[in-house]
Amino acid sequence: MPGALLETHALSRRFGGLQAVQDASIAVAADSITALIGPNGAGKSTLFNLIAGSLAPDSGRVVFGGRDITGAAPHAVAALGIGRTFQTTRLFAHMTVLENVMVGRHVRSKAGCIAGMLNLPSTWREERRIREHAAATLADLELGGHMHAVAGTLPFGVQRLVEFARALAAEPRLLLLDEPAAGLNLHETAALGRLIERIRSQGITVLVVEHDMSLVMDISERVIVLDQGRVLTAGTPLEVQKNPDVVRIYLGDDHA
C-alpha cells in the first residue's frame, strides 16, 4: 500500500497448539486512524505485541516507515517512533505523574549512567528540558493538576490519560492503543474519541484495538477485522459494517 507508515507481511505466531496470528498482512496509512477489531481471541493483542517487538513472529515481516523492524526489541521499536498503551493500564505506580511522563521522554534524551552520576551541566540542562516538556504534555491533556500525585493513587480514568501522556511525551510517529475505552463510561469514551482525533491532527498515526464499536465507527478511517488470527477483511467503517462475514463472526450464522 503506497503511503503506508506501517505494514505487516504474512505475520504468523503460534503458542503451543494455538495459532494466534496467521499470515496477517495489514497496512496502516500515515496520518490515519486505523482500527483493529475482532471477537475475543482473534489475535489482536498478539498482533500488537508482534508489531511492538514484545513478541517475535514465527514468520513474516514488520515494516515501519520503509524499514524492516521484524524481531527488533521493544525498546528499539520505541526508539524508532512507535509508542503504545496497554490493555490494562501499566503506570509506574510508585512514581509521580510527572515522573511517569518524564520516563516517556527517555527516547528523546540521551544522558547516560556516568553523566547522571556526575550531574554535569549538560545533564541538568537536559533534565530541565525533559521536565518542561513533560509538564507541557500534561498541561496539554489537562492533567497539570495531578502532576505531583503518586500515579497509583489516581482514579482509573485519570491513570489511562496519564498513560496517554506518557506515550505522547515520546513524540511517536505511530501510537498503538490497546482497548483504550475499556472500563470508561460513556462520557469518558466520548472525550477519548476527541482526544484520539486531536492526537492524529498533530501528525501522529494511530492504530487502535477497540471493542467499543460506536467509538471505532466514529473515529476511524479504516477498519481491519481479525478473526481466528487471520485478516478477515479491511475497509472503511461503512464497508466493514455491511460485510456479511463480519456480521456473522460478531452475531453468529443465523444473522448472516
| Residue 75 in the binding site for other proteins (CB under 8 A) | yes
Q: How far is the CB of 84 from other proteins (least distance, A)?
A: 5
Is position 92 an interface residue for other proteins (rule: CB under 8 A)?
yes
DSSP secondary structure string for all residues of the chain: -TTEEEEEEEEEEEETTEEEEEEE--EEETT-EEEEE-STTSSHHHHHHHHHTSS--SEEEEEETTEE-TT--HHHHHHHTEEE--SS----TTSBHHHHHHHHTGGG----HHHHHHT-HHHHHHHHHHHHHHHHHHHHTT-GGGTTSBGGGS-HHHHHHHHHHHHHHT--SEEEEESTTTT--HHHHHHHHHHHHHHHHTT-EEEEE-S-HHHHHHH-SEEEEEETTEEEEEE-HHHHHH-HHHHHHHH-GGG-
111 versus 135: smaller Cβ distance to other proteins: 111
67, 113, 155, 255: residue in contact with other proteins (rule CB under 8 A): 113
Would you give the binding string for other proteins spanning residues 27-66, x where CB under 8 A is met?
Answer: -------------------------x-x------------
Could you say whether residue 116 binds other proteins (CB under 8 A)? yes
Provide the minimum distance between the beta carbon of 107 and other proteins in the complex, in angstroms, as a whole number. Answer: 4
Using the rule CB under 8 A, is 180 a contact of other proteins? no
Binding of other proteins by 153 (CB under 8 A): no
The binder of other proteins chosen from 29, 111, 150, 190 (CB under 8 A): 111
Could you say which of 23, 127, 171, 221 contacts other proteins (CB under 8 A)? 127
> Per rule CB under 8 A, is residue 252 in the interface with other proteins?
no
**Count of chain residues binding other proteins (CB under 8 A):** 41
Cβ–Cβ under 8 Å, residues 96 and 149: yes
Residues at the contact surface with other proteins, assessed by CB under 8 A: 16, 52, 54, 73-75, 78-79, 83-84, 86, 90-95, 99-100, 102-104, 106-107, 109-113, 115-119, 123, 126-127, 130, 166-167, 170
